[in-house]
Amino acid sequence: MPVVASLPLIQREVGNDRVCTLTFDRPESGANIFDAATMRELSEHVDAIERDSSLRGLIIASAKKSIFIAGADLKTLLKQAPTGEMRGFIAEGQQVFNRIAALTIPTVAAIHGACAGGGYEVTLACDWRVGSDDPATRIGLPETTLGLIPAWGGSTRLPRLIGEDNAAEVILKGKLYSASEALKLGLIDEVAPREHLLDAARKKLGEGKRPESKVQPGKGKTPAPGDPKSARARALGIITASATTPIDESLKLEVDAIVDLGKTESTQNLIRNFFLTEKYKKGTSRQKFEKVAHAAVIGAGVMGLSTARLIQEAGFPVTIYTRALPPETTSNIAGGQFHPFGHFREEAVTPEWRRQFVAAVDYGWRRFQIMVGDDYGIRWLPTYVERNGPEYALLPTFPPVNRMLGPDEHPFPLESVVRYDTLYVETGRYLRQLIRDVQIAGGRIEVRGFATPAEIAALPERLVFNCTGLGARELFGDTELRPARGQLAILLPQPEIRYAFTGEAGYMFPRADGILLGGTFEHDVWDTTPDPQAIRRIVASHKRFFDGFRCTA
**Catalytic machinery residues:** 72, 118, 121, 143
Residues in Cβ contact with 396 at an 8 Å cutoff, skipping those fewer than 6 apart: none
Q: What is the rounded distance in angstroms from the CA atom of residue 43 to the CA atom of residue 228?
A: 35
Alpha-carbon distance of 436 to 441, in angstroms, equals: 9
Q: Distance (Å, rounded) from C-alpha 486 to C-alpha 517? A: 10
Between CA 252 and CA 94 the distance in angstroms is: 9
Q: What residue type is 42 in one-letter code?
A: L
E strand intervals along 289-334: 295-298, 318-322
Q: How far apart are CA 50 and CA 105, in angstroms?
A: 9
CB 477 within 8 A of CB 466: no
Helical residues (DSSP H) of 102-230, grouped into ranges? 118-124, 154-162, 164-173, 179-185, 197-205
CA 380 to each of CA 356, 368, 392, 422, 519: distance values in angstroms, whole numbers, following the listed order: 26, 10, 19, 6, 22
Helix (H) / strand (E) element for 352: namely helix 351-369
Strand-pair category, 403-405 with 417-425: antiparallel
Q: What are phi and psi of 328, to 5 degrees?
A: -90, 5
174: left (phi over 0), alpha (psi -120 to 50) or beta: left
Q: How many helices and strands, by DSSP H and E, does the chain display? A: 17, 24
- Residues 201/269, Cβ–Cβ less than 8 Å: no
Which residues fall within 8 angstroms of residue 387, CB to CB, at 6 or more apart?
416, 417, 418
Secondary structure letter of residue 189 according to DSSP: S
Q: How far apart are CA 432 and CA 426, in angstroms?
A: 10
Residue 417 near residue 404 (C-beta atoms within 8 A) = yes
Gap between the Cα atoms of 148 and 257, Å rounded = 8
Pairing of strands 57-62, 10-14: unpaired
Asked if 504 contacts 412 with a C-beta cutoff of 8 angstroms, the reply is: no
- Residue 35's Cβ-count burial label (10 Å; 0-12, 13-18, 19+) is middle
* CA–CA distances in Å: residue 539 to residues 71, 170, 424, 508, 533: 51, 37, 21, 10, 10
What is the three-state SS of 1-33?
CCEEEECCCEEEEECCCCEEEEEECCCCCCCCC
Closest CA to 287 of 269, 270, 273: 273
